[in-house]
Structure 1
Amino acid sequence: MGQYQWNWGIILEEVYGTGEYYYQWLITGLGWTVATALSAWVIALILGSLIGTVRTMPNKWLAGLATAYVELFRNIPLIVQLFLWFFVLPEVLPEQMGTWMKQDMPMPEFITAVIGLGLFTSARVAEQVRTGIMALPRGQRYAGQALGFTLGQTYRYVLLPMAFRIVIPPLTSEFMNVFKNSAVALAIGVTELTFQMRQITGEYAPGNPIEVMTMVSVIYLIMAFSVNRLMAFIERRTQVPGYISGGSK
């Protein structure tokens, strides 16, 4: 270890034979990481909120289907799901559609990663939303119905606004996990941040892996901290005075 040649300026050096610089590769990887994570989060938040709400409805068939969805996507490892979406699905679909997915679909790696990560995270979001709704006093549901609201209106105007205030802290963790889990997308060829790190340390700068890995770790740390502060700001702005929500004392 004492003979290790430290070179923290490696990131500013030119990549041999490419005319590019290492920092440009990391910036490109960061862009794909953010795009993948944010796109997947939109899917996860919308779909997870819907599935989590359905799980609390009195219709046992709908609640059962929603529960099956959560158990399916939550209990299969993310990397396995990505492989299934990317490699298996085109083979089991009708030939014309499968050929389109393999040859003509724009940005197939990125789209597959967004869908796979979004569905995986949506199952976790659904569980948080369900927990938030179930944590509310039953009197709130009855009060909405007593006012003449339909079931849908009771959820929209009474239950969900309060439930989301409760689940903001656990949703913060899920939002941060989306950015960290996006690293798995390198397995299907998305050139995100971890992919670029492996490429730099494996093929172009194998003599300086510690510096590059440290820099990438700092970038992930900054992203996670930024998400944490953003969600903390949202929690402060949406909390109900006098109401004990998640993370409140």
Structure 2
Amino acid sequence: MRGYVYQIVLLLVVGFLIWSAASNVIENLRAQKIASGFGFWHNAAGFDVNQKLIPFSASGSTYGQAFFVGLLNTLLVAALGIVLATIIGFSVGVARLSSNWIIAKLAMIYVEVIRNIPLLLQLFFWYNAVLKPLPDARNSISLPGGIYLNNRGIIFPNPQFAPAFEWVVIAFLIGIAGSIAFYIWARGQQAKTGKQYPNGWVAFGLVIGMPLIVFLLAGQPLSFEYPQQGRFNLTGGLQIFPEFVALLVGLSTYTAGFIAEVVRAGILAVSKGQTEAANALGLRSGPTLKLVVVPQAMRVIIPPLTSQYLNLVKNSSLAVAIGYPDLTQVFMGTVLNQTGQAVEMVSITMGVYLTISLVTSFAMNIYNKRMALVER
């Protein structure tokens, strides 16, 4: 009974504190004559965003559409950042354990330098010291393939898709599903018979080869609009803004430094006898790392790797410092300044980042259970 009484008293105290804080906020909003609620959602935005994945304009778009523009920009940089940080981090982590002295020391220097410089300073470095000093549009640096580089970003040839290209996309999705199904079947067969199957070559044929064949049979339904160098500016092409590049590179390299240490710790956690047994069976260092060491190390790597993914997503909010239009910059910056409804803006933004983090944790926990040892 005593435990129940303590819990009831604690709930009453917490409820009173929440009620007091809410009442105080409501009274202050009334005193300052600030509107509350979500009626602003359908009001005209009156501002534009330079990078957007959905249609958005200053004249015909609403604050609700501005929210989705910022959300998609945040998801874009977070997804690409996770992929790049994983690739860089695993490469550097393995390199730290290399028998080559130069490679191991270079990897160590990368980790020690990147991890000990604040991320905000690194973003400023990439944006102000690397990208901003590039020549202006008139003196753009021409790269092979019709690519131009200047202080306004990177301009690529803009792909133009014909209607028949949708068959290529369908073939690509079927190839992904087929490669996953074959991988699951091959693992089951290997567990029964011990026979290995060429999973990599099969996946390559389904994901790359089959869409390529469909692309050729459909008459190559893809063309490119190349940027044209004018007297004062570039016209045409697909522009990637320097704010996006600086944020993506900064987040990826910074998080990769931590992932590298996670990978190194996971590999060192595998008993040395596993490597010796693989060598005794005639496996070389590459197959040993791929087939023996890393699969066992993943049980140690995945939990802290999940934390690094969550940190990357949350650190993307630093985009406001260099002007990248993510959710924080667009919604909690411009929209909040125009509407003044801080409670609603902050609550929505916090809820979005919480949801993204929970979904990421949920997906990684599922993967962690699949990689865990199955005990009898």
TM-score of the aligned structures, taking structure 2 as reference length: 0.60
Find the partner of 2:62 among 21, 36, 40.
Answer: 21
- 1:61 is displaced (CA, Å) by 2.3
Amino acid at match of 2:43: E
- 1:57 is displaced (CA, Å) by 2.3
Find the partner of 1:160 among 294, 308, 326.
Answer: 294
- The 2-side partners of 1:22 and 1:92 are apart by 34
Q: Is structure 2 residue 337 aligned with structure 1 residue 190?
A: no
SS across alignment from 2:61: coil
RMSD: 2.2
Q: Is structure 2 residue 271 aligned with structure 1 residue 141?
A: no
Q: Which residue of 1 aligns with 2:150?
A: 101
- The 2-side partners of 1:138 and 1:93 are apart by 49
- 1:103 is displaced (CA, Å) by 3.1
Q: Which residue of 2 aligns with 1:130?
A: 264
Amino acid at match of 2:117: I
Q: Is structure 2 residue 119 aligned with structure 1 residue 78?
A: yes
Compare the two structures and name the one with the higher helix fraction.
Answer: 1
Find the partner of 1:3 among 19, 28, 37.
Answer: 28
Distance 1:70 1:16, change over 3 A: closer
Q: Which residue of 1 aligns with 2:106?
A: 65
Which runs of no fewer than 5 residues in structure 1 stay unpaired? 244-249
Amino acid at match of 2:37: W
Q: Which residue of 2 aligns with 1:212?
A: 345
Answer whether contact 2:298 2:371 (CA < 8 A) is retained: no
Give the 5 Å matches for 1:112-131.
112-131=246-265
Runs of 4+ in 1 over 4 A off after TM superposition: 91-99
Q: Is structure 2 residue 359 aligned with structure 1 residue 226?
A: yes
TM-score of the aligned structures, taking structure 1 as reference length: 0.89
Q: Is structure 2 residue 354 aligned with structure 1 residue 240?
A: no
Amino acid at match of 1:36: V
Compare the two structures and name the one with the higher strand fraction.
Answer: 2
SS across alignment from 1:100: strand
- State which drifts further: 150-159 or 8-17: 8-17
Amino acid at match of 1:55: R
What do the CA deviations read for 1:27-74 (whole angstroms, capped 9, x no partner)? 111100010011011110011001101112233322111111111111
Amino acid at match of 2:327: L
Answer whether contact 1:11 1:212 (CA < 8 A) is retained: no
Q: How many residues align?
A: 241
Which runs of no fewer than 5 residues in structure 2 stay unpaired? 1-24, 47-58, 143-147, 155-238
Q: Which has the higher contact order (CA 8 A, sep 6+)?
A: 1
- 1:130 is displaced (CA, Å) by 0.4
